[in-house]
Structure 1
Amino acid sequence: MSIDDLMYGIDELAESRTGYDRAAMYYHGTAPEIFASSRIRAALRAHQIDFDLNFAKTPVNAVATRLKVASITSPDEATNTLISKIWQDNQLNLELPDLVRKAGEFGDAYLMVLPVEDEKGDVVRVEMFYNSPQTVRVIYDEENPRRKKFTIKKWCDGRYLRAELLYDDHIERWTTGLDSAGRDANDWKPWIAEPDAEPDPNEAGAGELDAESWLIDHDWGEQPVFHFRTDRPYGVPEHYGAYGPQNAITKLQATHMGTVDYQGAPQRYALTEAATTDTSDLEPGDWDDEDFPEDTNGLGPSDVGDDSSLKAGPGELWLLRGYKAVGQFDAAKPDVFLDPIMFNVRAMAQITDTPLRMFDPQSSQRSGESYREEDGPFVSKVENRQTSYGASLHAAFVFALRRLGIPDPVISVDWVPARSVTDVQGWQTVKAKIEAGVPRRQALMEAGYRAEQVDEWLSGTDDAELQRRIDILASLADSAQKLGAAAALEVITSDQVSGLMAGALSDLEALAQAQEDS
């Protein structure tokens, strides 16, 4: 029995859980405010005041939205059919985006791939589903960090704790006793399967406990767990560098909101002569409960405005007795808070390699080329994730296809390009590269299009036709830009722009179809 592996895995899960919980708090905007003043902290807690500006999730979402699987294909048609079946059976159009986002949120995410057998023991399908790093952890071999030593999965099942250890050739199932904390090795025992509730009396041994049911042998040769991670051996949350700036933003925003009341209703003061002070017939300590109006819920005169005889309005005369001067305390200016907030947003963008415009779409109005330069580190990060996640997804599908009877499947995982040319400057650059002698296939791939897309476009197309198409795209992009500017100046309406562009695109499609038919 691998009780030592079990306890080691439990310790690893517990140690890493703190970091994962912290990552989730910052992504979901539930990280607590940090205040030096205990009075402010107590006041906000008592009134459950929440003025969160959660920018920390932006680095996660920015990467996740760029990570879209374009296709998983194989040169073998039978394999392609099985890939489509796996995709549909497991709703991977929903499961994979969630898996990718969670990998960014925690730095780690796990995809379980479990074969499902029929009564004869034949694998009829595979189940693929996400598992959180808060409950699952792959333990790597210290001698060879690329090799999985074993995987632990631990969860709560009512008043019991359950755990599974997954190895290359078997799975072990463990459980605690009722209401056990599971901190000591003695708290754990093999999780033996319960007998059938309604055993078949004609079947020998039906209804009896199987002492070996907690140990499940298999011949897979690997563990059915695939690790999606931002780094090795374990990942770092995409927004890890945003924690500090987010703390500052949260504090600045909460403090700023505390000054809004003073901006709307400034705190006032009155200076009096000591010898003539007679500001009221009542002193602050003279108010009793019966002196308060019934509709004030016990609030004092200062709270409801009944301690002032001064009325604002045309023709009103203010008579101030005993005061030599009055005034008000100016509230802190909003810029005192808003400027540092924007500084921290910019710092967050730089630390996390996330373009600033993804935090603030109105931050700048620059050309497409300058955007591409700004996006350089971000695009590199996205492409790195495509490489890492793509390797894990490839391994998961190879494992699944082998269980379904394909001994040596050949597949490829393709992603939607992290960046592609869509603006006039970009197409003009592509045009200039081809005119300068750069091979047309290379120029289009550098524009961010996949190799199979480029090959399909170039199939049966000569240089003259390709140049014509690029010229059309450049002209179309230029026209769209100019029409957009005209709409902004209200020279033309947005509906008219949309109609003109739709008509132009329809004409181009019809022309292209006619040329293909001819």
Structure 2
Amino acid sequence: MEAALDDEAIDPRADLMYGIDELREARPGYDQAQTYYDGKVPEVFVNARLRRALQANNIDFDLNFAKTPVNAITNRLKIASITSPDDATNKLISQIWQDNQLNLEMKNLFRRAGEFGDAYLMVLPVEDDNGAVVRVEMFYNSPQTVRIIYAEDNPRRKAFTIKRWCDGPYLRAELYYDDRTERWTTGKNSKGDRAADWLHWPADEDPESWVIEHDWGEQPVFHFRTDRPYGVPEHFGAYGPQNAITKLQATHMGTVDYQGAPQRYALTETATTDTSDLEPGDFNDGDWPEDDRGTGPRDSGEDSSLKAGPGEMWLLRGYKSVGQFDAANPDVFLDPITFNVKAMAQITETPLRMFDPQSSAQRSGVSYQEEDSPFVSKIEDRQTGYGSEAHAAFVFALRRLGIPDPVVTVDWVPARSVSSAEGWATVQAKIASGVPRRQALMEAGYRAEQVDAWLAGTDDAELQRRVDVLASLADSAQKLGAAAALGVITSEQVTGLLAGTIDDLEALATAQEEG
């Protein structure tokens, strides 16, 4: 849909109402994603009687695995640097980063993008009294209240952006265009369902301020998303397994009381059920109603006067046999939970060890790489998409601060880097086979600027020596870890040995460079 035109025949609220409808239709999906991430999904029971029984006992045991796919990716998404070859531009980038606490804001932005599939970064210039831009504010906005509407003829072009929120008894909305911002409001306690409910939202001293014109040529909203035109939550595939886990866990917890205190029974012969010679004291006080004497104790949950202990004697009158009902086998619940966790890992392309760290015991680095391959590819896709939006946001901000054509580079911490003995052995083999040193190290997961710094002034022999040292160190770390697992050496001793070795290597390298 195109932005509102100047033609008076076109309803000026057309874009507003269209955007509100889009927000309303998308909201349930975002709410559902938030519910699964927060672990507040209610258990689903086919049997209504069982559902009522558990609800009556207020059974609620959260076992939330659905958030793991989101957190696993967020933890790997770290911007290493945003830089420019121009020193003045670099200073402005550093100022923007610090002023907006982007070390925290970006992490939250990436997590929300994973949780909802979409997240928006607002970039708003702040002017002084003379109209000069003095700083730029960057902050996250939820897709539950903001939505970019893309042009139908070109889905990469933003037609306009709507932001709608509640402000006490009023509803507010802003529409962002390439050349202006429109501000709208409802009357007090209005639902805002009709176009007539929406009025211009001017400042008291300026009736025309409901439209703020600018010459930016673009909208100050940047869309971080997992897909196009709108994203899909990273844990969307976890919804089904999480439903099963929630149901299994709730039902399992409902049987725990029976495992700790099994339900018992007593069988009687018809001819021997007369217990009229028993005294009320033979059972707990209050178990014998005056009108029920001789008919047996009530089902109060405390029927037995038998005491367990050394020297105690149990006298059972009128009972043929006694016994107890076996509680449900825990494996009936735990095994399906394990299956659903594995299914969740496969569906969301998240390594199983991120759900269950114990699953990684006694595994090689090669098997990790094979398991991580789809996961790492997904992270690299996110780095590409999010990096493009981060680049656009900083270019926009720098232009507002007076840099007409800023050159900006966004670098990420590698999604995967070599740290195992097998990995460094592979690097050695590549270099020995003729692969250029720079290429081999970049394929190991290190950034180009890191590799260039390492290679500066380093000949082939020195590089080979360093690779050999790293390979030996990784191999030693792996063997020491196995020794610690067997109890031959403590983990503290392993840490001390490796730390001392690394310190010695760093001191030696420094001495060589200074020499």
* TM tier, smaller: over 0.9
d(CA) in 2 for partners of 1:278, 1:446? 86
Equivalent residues, number: 493
CA offset at residue 232 of structure 1?
Answer: 0.2
Partner residue, 1:121: 131
Structure 1 gaps, min length 5:
196-209, 293-299
1:504 matches 2:501: yes
d(CA) in 1 for partners of 2:94, 2:469? 37
d(CA) in 1 for partners of 2:204, 2:59? 50
d(CA) in 1 for partners of 2:88, 2:275? 94
What amino acid is the match of 1:265? A
d(CA) in 2 for partners of 1:225, 1:333? 55
Q: 1:311 aligns with which of 271, 294, 307?
A: 307
Partner residue, 1:295: none
What amino acid is the match of 2:244? A
* Identity across the alignment (%): 76
Alignment of 1:330-369 (within 5 A): 330-365=326-361, 366-369=363-366
2:125–2:136 Cα contact (<8 Å) kept: yes
Partner residue, 2:3: none
What amino acid is the match of 2:437? R
Partner residue, 2:214: 218
Q: Secondary structure at the match of 2:468?
A: helix
2:287–2:300 Cα contact (<8 Å) kept: no
Partner residue, 1:19: 29
CA offset at residue 36 of structure 1?
Answer: 1.8
1:278 matches 2:274: yes
1:178 matches 2:213: no
Partner residue, 2:6: none
1:372 matches 2:382: no
Structure 2 gaps, min length 5:
1-10, 290-296
d(CA) in 1 for partners of 2:108, 2:272? 73
Q: 1:3 aligns with which of 3, 13, 16?
A: 13
What amino acid is the match of 2:438? R
d(CA) in 2 for partners of 1:405, 1:516? 42
Structure 1 stretches of 4+ with a deviation exceeding 3 A read 43-48, 279-283, 287-292, 300-304
Q: 2:511 aligns with which of 489, 509, 514?
A: 514
d(CA) in 2 for partners of 1:495, 1:323? 62
2:353–2:359 Cα contact (<8 Å) kept: yes
Partner residue, 1:320: 316
Q: What RMSD, in angstroms, separates the aligned Cα atoms of the two structures?
A: 1.8
d(CA) in 1 for partners of 2:316, 2:504? 80
CA offset at residue 393 of structure 1?
Answer: 0.4
What amino acid is the match of 2:404? P
Deviations 1:50-76 (CA, angstroms, capped at 9, x unpaired): 211100000000000000000000111
What amino acid is the match of 2:12? S
Distance 1:288 1:308, change over 3 A: closer
Partner residue, 1:449: 446
Distance 1:88 1:333, change over 3 A: same
Partner residue, 1:460: 457
d(CA) in 1 for partners of 2:463, 2:145? 53
Deviations 1:77-135 (CA, angstroms, capped at 9, x unpaired): 11101100100110101100000000000000000000001111111110000000000
2:484–2:490 Cα contact (<8 Å) kept: yes
d(CA) in 2 for partners of 1:346, 1:282? 59
1:136 matches 2:146: yes
Partner residue, 1:416: 413
Q: 2:89 aligns with which of 79, 86, 90?
A: 79
Partner residue, 2:38: 28
Partner residue, 1:425: 422
Partner residue, 2:264: 268
Deviations 1:459-516 (CA, angstroms, capped at 9, x unpaired): 1111111000000001111112222222233333333222221221111111111111
1:259 matches 2:269: no
1:150 matches 2:160: yes
Partner residue, 1:407: 404
CA offset at residue 41 of structure 1?
Answer: 2.5
CA offset at residue 301 of structure 1?
Answer: 6.0
d(CA) in 2 for partners of 1:471, 1:290? 81
CA offset at residue 271 of structure 1?
Answer: 1.4
TM-score calculated relative to the size of structure 2: 0.93
TM-score calculated relative to the size of structure 1: 0.92
CA offset at residue 282 of structure 1?
Answer: 9.4
d(CA) in 1 for partners of 2:222, 2:316? 79
